[in-house]
């Protein structure tokens, strides 16, 4: 490594330039922890020298690879994070709870023999240096506290929040360059094929509005017509569905939301024909407003929803889309 890392005991791995909100929230949490601990923050970014990377405003320094790190290759990101821990000895290492963070953080913890706390919604540190992370449990029906006393390294993955939250305070972006990791070793994975979402299709985790389908939507064709090319398109929203809808072939597997799928925290979550099983609600409990449309007035989803409509979605969605467009600010 060229240069030297300043005395910053909170490290942040910024692996997704496509999600600036998640990066900003990671840095805000890191800055808050560092302020209490009386230390600083550095960010590991995955772009090579001179390459685009997530905005690291709020960090005191940037650490990067000499060449760009392919975040789709967990070995490269694992190597980078491992090098940072060995050389800088941070007290806390934060990842986003995304595909990269979910895979790399536990592997890094196993390699280092360090504790890892995943899928957290917040973290704080006390005057004695004990790091406490807060994570949902029992299908998001409760919150649990997990603590790591000083001086042990704590590895934490943080769930993306729907609200902007506090901004990471810094007078200016940190200096770029000078702190460079050697290039990662040759990857052991070989990419055979890549599947990218169609241009203009929103990513679930980053969307402010999500429309989700359950078994009650009926068929893949109905999902495409009424939701993917209907309500979601009208609202500029992302779309997905429950595991039940995925199992029936109504919704593609990569769009599954829930305990065994994606975790989303949009401003508005519209559940269509969705019963509201706890396993699904664990994936959308961070939504600020849940709107449910279901023909069964006793469906569990109405116990979670802020607004509910009992009726056939085929009759409800056109009117709902029209009213939401009227109330929503101009995009």
- Residue 90: half-sphere exposure toward Cβ, Cα within 13 Å: 29
pLDDT tens-digit map of 14-23: 866 667 778 8
The residue among 122 and 83 whose pLDDT is bigger is: 122
Q: Which of 44-58, 170-184, 250-264 has the lowest mean pLDDT?
A: 170-184
Per-residue H/E/C for 65-121? ECCCCCCCCHHHHHHHHHHHHHHHCCCEEEEECCHHHHHHHHHHHHHHCCCEEEEEC
Mean pLDDT of 1-10: 60
Percent of the chain whose predicted confidence (pLDDT) is above 70: 79
pLDDT at 329: 57
pLDDT at 18: 63
pLDDT tens-digit map of 209-232: 999 999 999 999 999 999 998 899
pLDDT at 247: 94
pLDDT tens-digit map of 180-193: 666 666 767 777 88
The tokens for 115 are 């504790």
Scored b (16 or more CB within 10 A) or e, 190-214 reads eeeeeeeeeeeebebbbbbbbbbbb
pLDDT band at 174 (very low <50, low <70, confident <90, very high): low
Per the CB < 8 A criterion, the answer to whether 258 and 279 are in contact is yes
DSSP letter string, 155-209? EEEEPPPSS--PPPP-SSPPP-SS-EEPPPPPPS--------PPTTPPPTTT-SE
Closest by CA to 179, choosing from 60, 94, 292, 283, is 60
Give, for 131, the enclosing helix (H) or strand (E): strand 131-137
Q: How far apart are CA 58 and CA 41, in angstroms?
A: 8
Q: How far apart are CA 154 and CA 91, in angstroms?
A: 6
pLDDT at 242: 95
Question: 272 in helix, strand or coil?
Answer: strand
pLDDT, averaged across the chain:
82
Q: Rounded to two decimals, what is the model's pTM?
A: 0.77
pLDDT band at 323 (very low <50, low <70, confident <90, very high): confident
pLDDT tens-digit map of 47-73: 655 555 667 777 888 777 665 666 667
Pairing of strands 116-120, 154-158: parallel
pLDDT at 331: 47
Q: How far apart are CA 219 and CA 233, in angstroms?
A: 18
pLDDT tens-digit map of 92-104: 999 988 888 889 9
Report helix, strand and coil shares of the chain as percent, to nearest 5.
Answer: 30, 25, 45
């Amino acid at each position: 490594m060229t240069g030297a890392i300043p005395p910053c005991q909170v490290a942040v791995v910024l692996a997704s330039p496509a999600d600036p909100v998640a990066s900003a929230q990671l840095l805000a949490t890191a800055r808050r922890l560092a302020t209490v601990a009386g230390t600083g923050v550095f960010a590991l970014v995955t772009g090579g020298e001179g390459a685009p990377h997530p905005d690291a405003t709020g960090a005191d320094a940037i650490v990067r690879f000499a060449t760009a790190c392919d975040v789709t290759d967990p070995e490269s990101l694992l190597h980078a994070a491992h090098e940072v821990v060995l050389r800088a000895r941070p007290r806390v290492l934060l990842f986003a709870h995304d595909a990269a963070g979910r895979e790399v953080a536990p592997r890094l913890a196993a390699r280092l023999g360090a504790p890892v706390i995943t899928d957290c919604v917040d973290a704080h540190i006390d005057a004695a240096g004990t790091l406490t992370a807060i994570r949902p449990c029992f299908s998001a029906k409760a919150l649990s506290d997990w603590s790591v006393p000083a001086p042990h390294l704590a590895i934490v993955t943080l769930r993306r929040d729907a609200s902007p939250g506090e901004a990471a305070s810094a007078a200016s972006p940190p200096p770029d360059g000078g702190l460079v990791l050697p290039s990662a070793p040759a990857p052991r994975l070989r990419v055979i094929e890549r599947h990218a979402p169609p241009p203009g299709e929103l990513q679930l985790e980053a969307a402010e509005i999500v429309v989700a389908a359950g078994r009650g939507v009926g068929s893949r064709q109905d999902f495409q017509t009424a939701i993917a090319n209907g309500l979601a398109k009208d609202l500029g929203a992302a779309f997905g569905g429950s595991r039940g809808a995925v199992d029936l072939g109504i919704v593609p597997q990569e769009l599954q939301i829930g305990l065994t799928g994606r975790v989303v925290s949009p401003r508005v979550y519209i559940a269509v024909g969705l019963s509201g099983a706890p396993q699904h609600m664990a994936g959308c409990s961070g939504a600020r407003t849940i709107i449910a449309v279901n023909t069964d007035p006793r469906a569990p989803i109405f116990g979670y929803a802020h607004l509910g409509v009992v009726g056939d979605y085929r009759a409800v969605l056109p009117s709902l889309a029209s009213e939401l467009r009227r109330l929503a600010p101009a995009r």
